[in-house]
Homo-oligomer: A and B are copies of this chain.
Amino acid sequence: MKILVTGAAGLLGGRLIKALLAAPAGAQRVTTIVAADTSAFPAEDPRVDIRVGSIVDAGFLRSIVDADVRVVYHLAAVLSGGSEDDFDAGMRTNVDGTRSLLETCRALRTMPRFVFSSTIAVFGGDLPPVVPEDLALTPQTSYGTAKSIAELLVGEYSRRGFVDGVSCRLPTITVRPGKPNSALSGFVSGIIREPLAGVDTTCPVPLDTRIWICSPGAVTQNLAHAGSIDTHALGSRRSLNMPGLQVTAEGMLDSLARVGGPEARNRVRVEHDERVARAMTGWPAALDDRRARRLGFVADASVDAIIKQYVDEHPAGRG
């Protein structure tokens, strides 16, 4: 089976490719993973076919999508901070790039599975404590707007029989290794990652701010799962609230103290950042994820388990 992953050089792309290559016996054997991103990146497995280019380039898309591709994982995106700073760049990649990729799939007439990484930021503003799956999309960022439009496209291309789509609304992912990315929610990783590396850092939101989180491990497992579920169970609702855990910033720091010791906890102090705080208070604090759970998608066991996952994978404390 041939698979395409866009945004393959990112955290989720890399983990997803590893997970797909290690698929358990019984699953359909992966013969090739076309791994596309805007810059080159290493790959050890000979089944990984690295392609460098942009999804806003229709010619590049035609060169990476062919009729043998059975599943497309579309992860490439301009993140929330980047989309807010450069409206046009965000729209070009997140709306036009996604539509162009859908069009390329449609031209195949093979109706590939199309797994789209959406976001809880499709919801915003004055939200109920737990956001139901059928609430109106009211994004309060350019990123959330673009992802909302892309969800509608995935739904319509599925209804038309052009692709067999699933949009996964991913929680805020923590703990991300490495340097901060352009996501406004970057601190949700930073307040764990930096102290564990012995670096002082700040929490830009009030400690009682509620956050809906998921580990890279669980998100990767869920994306892979979305590639193989029976989509008849979705009916006409192709967008799923992915399972997550609700936690406050303070709850995360309590976990940090338990897993990393009080000295790690003491490296974090609150320093308000209006731009980040405004974005976060507009994002949902919890989502109704029951439909996804019934379909076999999973959440992490606990916040402690999320931090332990990071510590186990990064024993030196650095990303």
Contacts and interface: CB of A to CB of B under 8 A. Distances in A.
A134 B142 contact: no
A135 B133 CA distance: 10
Interface stretch (A18-26, A34-42, A145-153, A283-291): A145-153
A160 B142 contact: yes
Contacts of A195: none
Contact of A136 (B87, B124, B125, B134): B134
Contacts of A133: 136
A137 B139 CA distance: 13
Contacts of A125: 235-237
Interface residues on A, range: 20 to 34
Contact of A152 (B87, B145, B235): B145
B138 A237 contact: yes
Contacts of A135: 134-136
B136 A136 contact: yes
A102 B153 CA distance: 19
A140 interface: yes
A138 B236 contact: yes
Interface in A107-161: 124-125, 133-140, 142, 145, 148-149, 152-153, 155-156, 159-160
Contacts of A237: 125, 138
A279 to B, nearest CB: 13
